[in-house]
């Protein structure tokens, strides 16, 4: 699948592109394209086998929405902090035991919700994707630097 391949379906807002991580596989990308969404895969950008620390800043800078089921990105604080540091928007599929077809169906079912979240929430954030899509991590709020009370 080429990074330039896009569908002209009216289902897909043109402001965001889903980036499909290697661990989710081609089927998720194919089904999202078939449903009318804009998709780029790890193959399109030659990210196969490349460490996350190399490609994460690239996709965040491009404004892509990361779809992954990489357990390290979901559970390792260093990976999560990298997504936040890069100002990323990540959607973590939470059940690593789901099959490719199950993940593809889940991605298509929740695609509009993911786009709605990306449109309504300022980056960075991390959301989990399961039965629902829910924000699980966002940057800490800056502390109020107003006058100190005595």
Q: Give residue 140's pLDDT.
A: 60
69 against 96, higher pLDDT: 69
Q: How far is CA 14 from CA 34, 46, 66, 116, in A?
A: 15, 23, 16, 12
The partner residues of 66 in beta bridges, in order of sequence, read 19, 90
The partner residues of 65 in beta bridges, in order of sequence, read 18, 89
**Contact call for residues 69 and 23 (beta carbons, < 8 A):** yes
- Mean pLDDT over the full length of the chain: 82
Q: What mean pLDDT comes out for the span 88-113? A: 93
What's the number of CA atoms in the CB half-sphere (13 Å) around residue 30?
Answer: 6
Q: What mean pLDDT comes out for the span 130-149? A: 70
Q: Give residue 5's pLDDT.
A: 45
pTM: 0.80
Instruction: Flag whether pLDDT at 77 surpasses 80.
Output: no
Count Cβ atoms within 10 A of the Cβ of residue 23 and give its class: 0-12 exposed, 13-18 middle, 19 or more buried: middle
């Amino acid at each position: 699948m080429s990074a330039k391949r896009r569908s002209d379906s009216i289902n897909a807002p043109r402001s965001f592109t889903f980036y499909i991580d290697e661990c989710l596989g081609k089927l998720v990308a194919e089904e999202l394209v078939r449903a009318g969404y804009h998709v780029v895969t790890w193959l399109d950008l030659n990210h196969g086998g490349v460490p996350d620390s190399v490609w994460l800043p690239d996709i965040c800078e491009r404004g892509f929405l990361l779809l992954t089921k990489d357990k390290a990105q979901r559970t390792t604080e260093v990976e999560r902090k990298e997504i936040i540091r890069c100002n990323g928007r990540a959607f973590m599929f939470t059940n690593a035991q789901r099959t490719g077809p199950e993940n593809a169906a889940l991605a298509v079912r929740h695609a509009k919700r993911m786009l709605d979240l990306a449109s309504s929430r300022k980056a960075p954030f991390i959301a989990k994707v399961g039965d629902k899509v829910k924000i699980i991590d966002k940057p800490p709020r800056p502390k109020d630097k107003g006058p100190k009370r005595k």
